Structure 1
């Protein structure tokens, strides 16, 4: 039943044609050698624009987006103006929160994720605007009631203040219900061939050493509506399996991996296991048998060797790896420490400077 439910949910997602425009804004204080402000614009999970407090301007990062701003230069000017303006606002907000919450130790991280989704079949539109502070949800806008939701007591003062700003709330409503979808539709028009393409990945089995976990790694696929899992005797299972997130590659494609712990699997049972990759809209799955002969490992004793270190992308070399940057998600771990979650994009301007 669980297998059938997962299949139905996946198929339902695949059949719906949805597009999203999301902005990730991150302001920091007390982090050396790190921009005080970073912002990325993403369409369907692919970065189309970038700015930070060092370059102080917005840059398109896809060819079709560059064509759009060439046809409409004021579009890029608006982004650059917003980049600079938001940097000032976020800095003031961090200072206010530090003082209000009586915080003396950093670093401090304030984030916003906002944007809209559009279904070109149903014309359904969904807007969103939410903030996080120091790795925790802080406040979010409810567009139905035009009020702010404060999940934590520390945000109540901000909620009361922002709820009283009626003109700003109406501006938010108009932006997320009208302007944001209009821009998203314009982006889809310019980038349709890119956004509507379907590309299957290259799938490999990777292992650091014969005693470590085996990672089934898929890279180079598009769109990001995909799932991957391990099976035993053609039945999906979860014991000893660790699923990774879908991550962006520098070329606009995506990658993902799912790890299998071999400690409880007998060598003679390996043939009963395989890794399955499914891409939304694709007619067939990619199935990779658990076979020692095809595993790439650091040791060189089984299969062929692959570079030491985390797999980042299909064509991301060491020099480019140092330039990986972009939108960031900070979350608190079980010990209360704020950590950077790996949701990164390659920033082209850093690559040029390095």
Structure 2
């Protein structure tokens, strides 16, 4: 048994350089010992940045590109990719069985997951990782600097011994993370950089709610923005206020949404501003809630008040 290795053909001065990236290529695998009806035993998804690039599952046996990648000629040989994913599927499920054998638990329902990938910044490798989880808990990870597989679970020590029985497998994992994955990502970027570099500024709305005799709650919602990095907070008299939420969520259309809320005393009439910073904005945006229940933008970026 060997780890899920990739056998791929792609195995200073006053000048100010414009930063490009970061760009990432990440693979996510999931294997199930007892899948529910209609759920594949094995699934794989590749991501370019945060966008799904292709999907594969054990039922179809095909690597199928997600949009818009399916419209790009020459980006990948999908027949060969399907064959590669099929080989990985077989190795992955054998590993899952070995873990279950170690725990002598063949009757239960168990999940084995793997995630690995690399990142480029300014066309240079800036990060890579390779790790696995069993039933939602960290299982084993690869340290490319040693290089070695680091067991994080009792059963992982056996897996480590099998994977490192031949030193070439460890060296291949290191080579994949440091050479093959970045080279593959660079090749993909020749076709997809313009798409990944698109920026959509957030649309902002502010609402207020309050129950009789209770404090008011101001909610600042930013949506339809891309990429997902955003800074969103409330200000009062120039001071940043602690506010709830702030998490970023998929919007269902390839963009993202986020919001922050702040609780305000019912009699407080000071101005409150929602401050937004995003790479799609030419400058930061500050939006005020006023007593006429309208959001006023202190910027030329359009908002949609409610």
The TM-score range, normalised by the shorter chain, is 0.7 to 0.9
Alignment of 1:74-223 (within 5 A): 74=77, 76-103=78-105, 106-120=108-122, 123-205=124-206, 216-223=220-227
Q: Select the structure of larger CA radius of gyration.
A: 2
CA contact (8 A) 1:20 1:44 kept: yes
| Deviation string, structure 1 residues 282-316 (Cα, Å, up to 9, x no partner) | 43223343568369xxxxxxx97xxxxxxxxxxxx
CA distance in structure 2 between the aligned counterparts of 1:207 and 1:21, rounded to whole angstroms: 41
Instruction: Tell me the secondary structure at the aligned position of residue 267 of structure 2.
Output: helix
Please say if 1:47 is aligned against 2:52: yes
The 3 A distance-change label for structure 1 pair 139 and 290 is farther
1:213 CA displacement: 6.8
Taking only aligned residues, the RMSD between alpha carbons, in angstroms, comes to 3.1
CA distance in structure 2 between the aligned counterparts of 1:81 and 1:271, rounded to whole angstroms: 64
* TM-score, length of structure 1 as denominator length: 0.67
CA contact (8 A) 1:230 1:275 kept: yes
Q: Which has the higher helix share?
A: 1
The 3 A distance-change label for structure 1 pair 78 and 236 is farther
| Deviation string, structure 1 residues 230-287 (Cα, Å, up to 9, x no partner) | 334333333x52232x33444433x13234263xx31333754333322136432233
The 3 A distance-change label for structure 1 pair 24 and 248 is farther
CA distance in structure 1 between the aligned counterparts of 2:245 and 2:186, rounded to whole angstroms: 37
| Deviation string, structure 1 residues 46-74 (Cα, Å, up to 9, x no partner) | 112112223221111132x2244x32553
CA distance in structure 1 between the aligned counterparts of 2:208 and 2:239, rounded to whole angstroms: 23
Q: Name the residue aligned to 1:257.
A: 258
The 3 A distance-change label for structure 1 pair 183 and 252 is farther
Instruction: Tell me the secondary structure at the aligned position of residue 149 of structure 2.
Output: strand
1:29 CA displacement: 2.9
Q: Name the residue aligned to 1:35.
A: 40
CA contact (8 A) 1:47 1:252 kept: no
Q: Which has the higher strand share?
A: 2
CA distance in structure 2 between the aligned counterparts of 1:59 and 1:252, rounded to whole angstroms: 18
CA contact (8 A) 2:118 2:125 kept: no
CA distance in structure 2 between the aligned counterparts of 1:24 and 1:111, rounded to whole angstroms: 7
CA distance in structure 1 between the aligned counterparts of 2:188 and 2:245, rounded to whole angstroms: 35
| Deviation string, structure 1 residues 96-129 (Cα, Å, up to 9, x no partner) | 21221234674322111111111125x2343221
The 3 A distance-change label for structure 1 pair 276 and 40 is farther
Structure 1 gaps, min length 5:
1-13, 296-302, 305-354
Q: Name the residue aligned to 2:74.
A: 71
CA contact (8 A) 1:271 1:289 kept: no
The 3 A distance-change label for structure 1 pair 141 and 202 is same
| Deviation string, structure 1 residues 168-225 (Cα, Å, up to 9, x no partner) | 1122222222221112112212112211122102223468996897653322222223
The 3 A distance-change label for structure 1 pair 44 and 73 is closer
The 3 A distance-change label for structure 1 pair 279 and 15 is farther
Moved more, 30-39 or 281-290: 281-290
CA distance in structure 2 between the aligned counterparts of 1:46 and 1:39, rounded to whole angstroms: 14
Query: How many residue pairs end up in the alignment?
Result: 275
CA contact (8 A) 2:200 2:280 kept: no
CA contact (8 A) 1:36 1:53 kept: yes
CA contact (8 A) 1:46 1:248 kept: no
Q: Name the residue aligned to 1:241.
A: 244
CA distance in structure 1 between the aligned counterparts of 2:241 and 2:189, rounded to whole angstroms: 38
